[in-house]
Amino acid sequence: MSADVVIVGGGVIGSSIAYHLLAIAPGTSVCVIERDPSYRAASSALSASSIRQQFSTPVNIAMSRYGMTFLKSIGEHLAVDDTEPAIGLTERGYLYLASATTRETMLASHATQKQCGADVTLLEPPELARRFPWMTVDGIALASLGLSAEGWFDGYSLLQAFRLKARALGAEYLTAEVVRFEMQAERISSVVLADGRRVSCGNVVNAAGPHARSVAAMAGVDLPVYPDKHCIFVFDCMEPPPESPLIIDPSGLYVRPDGRRFLCGAPRQDDSRREGQTLEVETDLFDTVVWPLLAARVPAFESIRMTAAWAGFYEMNVLDENAILGKPPNRSNLYLANGFSGHGMQHSPAAGRGIAELILLGEYRTLDLRPLGYDRLLQNKPLRELIAS
């Protein structure tokens, strides 16, 4: 068995790359290796699936703007047999709340966002209270609201849309686990599977999500990417606030509507290097951390009932919590698409396009993704976001 491109990992990133490779160069032989085709534990299936322009780095803003354009016209890209995917895109914006200590950071980030064409506005506390009278503005020094091109969607449906379209264009999906790379000097010559099969390859893409570190190690590449568990809670509210955006509290709490219910998550605990993490939900977080923060910010959330919960893994890049894209040194045919740190779903269209261009054309054409390259790891020059996920 052989392929021009072997992609390790068939989640939203790997499937986006597969689709873009075949959209740009029909006839390319693409093999996607995914060990769990049910995606029950896949990060793509367990994501909160939202998209924002409110980053502080131009490259992430550009990727999100590209992503929203792609999602709005998803039928033009991913329809199969005249059936367009339905991803439930809801464009209601992010509302970031800043305390006195983070006000200046918000101002600096806002200036970058406006320079990059993001449709965002700043709200001082009195205007914030007028626009969202159901919200308590105590402790808020400034707010930033996305006016367009921000919101949320069904991430599992996006994953399946990329996967179905890639397969329709000719990508082969194998259910298998990669256990080893066979090397010839600086080149990966074949991918060895747990059942003993070998896939000869022209190029290899590491799109293994939270497992990316171990896959990179098979090629002798050090990747500072670790699984980082996050818990998501769903609740009902007796008197829900109307037309709520996705709210990011200064505490790190986030909450957004999910149909008639609400979806929320606790402030990040930074467990990215903790060994032996499982996807068991830490339900006590809701009562001890999440609910008090919710009620303090939105009084209507004092009367709520948790109805569901789940946990997923971020693929956390512990250097700077940003994606690692492109080729590592001394590996001539290995490409990395890892470490998205919670941004993978929204950046999957741009990352897929970029890696496909790099493989097929030798350079980025649509977006310049070089700031996210591996070189910054070697130089210890992190590209940090000033704004929380």
Q: What's the CA gap between 134 and 116, in Å, rounded?
A: 32
Question: Against a cut of 0.85, is the pTM above it?
Answer: yes
136: three-class secondary structure by DSSP: coil
The pLDDT score that the predictor gives to residue 207 is 98
Q: Please report, for the chain, the start and end positions of each structural domain, with discontinuous segments joined by +.
A: 2-84+154-224+319-378, 94-148+226-315
Distant-in-sequence, close-in-space partners of 144: CB < 8 Å, separation ≥ 6: 54, 94, 95, 96, 98, 106, 109, 110, 120, 121, 122, 123
pLDDT in tens, 360-381: 999 999 999 999 999 999 999 9
pLDDT in tens, 80-127: 998 999 999 999 999 999 999 999 999 999 999 999 999 999 999 999
CA dihedral sign of residues 39, 42, 47, 53:
negative
Q: What's the CA gap between 46 and 362, in Å, rounded?
A: 33
CATH domain 94-148+226-315 topology: D-Amino Acid Oxidase; Chain A, domain 2 (3.30.9)
**Nearest CA-CA partner of 48 in 329, 357, 330, 257:** 257
Distant-in-sequence, close-in-space partners of 118: CB < 8 Å, separation ≥ 6: 53, 54, 61, 65, 146, 149
pLDDT band at 278 (very low <50, low <70, confident <90, very high): confident
307 burial type by CB count under 10 A (0-12 exposed, 13-18 middle, 19+ buried): exposed
Which CATH superfamily, name and number, covers 2-84+154-224+319-378? FAD/NAD(P)-binding domain (3.50.50.60)
**Nearest CA-CA partner of 357 in 346, 373, 368:** 368
pLDDT in tens, 293-337: 999 999 999 999 999 999 999 999 999 999 999 999 999 999 999
Q: Within 13 A of 120's CA, how many CA atoms are on the CB side?
A: 29
- Residue whose structure tokens are 């506390």: 125
CA distances from 58 to 296, 375, 380, 386 (A): 33, 18, 20, 12
Structure token digits, residue 177: 């686990």
- Conformational region of residue 38, where left means phi above 0, alpha means psi within -120 to 50, and beta covers everything else: alpha
